[in-house]
Amino acid sequence: MPCWADSPAPPGAAAPQPIRMRALMLNLRRPFFADRRVREAMLISFDFEWIDRTLYDGRLRRIASYFPDSDFAAHGPPTDGEVALLDPFRDQLPPEVFKIAFTPPRTDGSGDEGIRYHLRRAMAQLDASGWVVQDGRLADGKTGTPFAFEILLHDQRDMRLVLPFARVLKRLGIVATVHVLGDAAYRTRRDRFDFDMILDDWAMPASPTGEPRACWGSATADTPGSCNYPGIESPVVDALTAAMADAKDPVQRLDAAHALDRVLTRGYYVIPLYSLAGQ
């Protein structure tokens, strides 16, 4: 399902070229992904550089935006217009939103040694959020419940993307199992939000004129079949998607999109992978 409501192209104009953001999407409806620090630990633990170098011959291009390859992607520090939109929510946002635009953490692609520093950072975030190691397994410090979850796929070829991730998580004491379903069964579970993590994508026109609230607004978080796959419920995201949809001119729209991109990327709702332009 496209993230943006389709808008007809003007007569004689070409239809907008779609941009697809591919990502591992975390289901915030699951208690273990409700904490932003846990979601950041997931992001930190994904060794994109090793996977790309070893399994894809360096052919993948990592994305760092919900609007990859478009003018709507945030870059550098926020402009005055972006700050004006973000400032009323400063006490609800991490400080990073007001600094340089998000860039995924990078390793040197060497594997075990290259990811070691990142795993220390990830473990610190997990420890801060109440997870402890018990007999080699990560568990909730209060309930003792093991940290175990399922990664759901609909394409067997994506196994080589996620199995290395599952192996890295095992070093943290996290058990991540990977299951591949047929398209119909996968769509049923995805559309009912019956998953822990999925590998999927959001499709959007390169020049969005539709409704951004469709996939990231609180109103769709519990609507079966919506493309708010992570279950994002944020008053800040709601305000920024409304500002983007209601913008009176291109400058306002860009400011709102950039501010929204900063908030979404720093919410760690997904682990961004790569874009699929024109597909």
* pLDDT tens, position by position, 38-48: 999 999 999 99
- With a CB cutoff of 8 Å and minimum separation 6, the contacts of 232 are 28, 216, 217, 218, 221, 264, 267, 269
Range 82-100 average pLDDT: 97
pLDDT at 84: 98
Is 34 in contact with 239 (CB distance < 8 Å)? no
Place of tokens 């993590």: 197
CA distance 150 to 177: 5
pLDDT at 187: 97
Range 225-238 average pLDDT: 96
| Of 118-127, 163-172, 197-206, 220-229, minimum mean pLDDT range | 197-206
pLDDT at 23: 96
Q: Which residue has the higher pLDDT, 111 or 16?
A: 111
Range 227-232 average pLDDT: 95
Q: What is this structure's pTM?
A: 0.91
Range 174-195 average pLDDT: 98
| Of 4-13, 81-90, 157-166, 218-227, minimum mean pLDDT range | 4-13
Residue 2 in this model has a pLDDT that exceeds 90: no
Mean of all residue pLDDT scores within the chain = 90
Is 11 in contact with 267 (CB distance < 8 Å)? no
Is 159 in contact with 177 (CB distance < 8 Å)? no
| Of 98-107, 148-157, 162-171, 270-279, minimum mean pLDDT range | 270-279
Place of tokens 């972006």: 82
CA distance 151 to 199: 8
Reduced to 3 states (helix: H, G, I; strand: E, B; else coil), residue 190 is helix
Q: Which of 28, 4, 77 is nearest to 218 (CA)?
A: 28
CA distance 74 to 103: 10
- With a CB cutoff of 8 Å and minimum separation 6, the contacts of 174 are 138, 147, 148, 149
Angle at 16 between CA 15 and CA 22, to 5 degrees: 135
CA distance 52 to 48: 6
Q: Which residue has the higher pLDDT, 91 or 19?
A: 91
Using pLDDT thresholds of 50, 70 and 90, give the confidence band for residue 68. Answer: confident
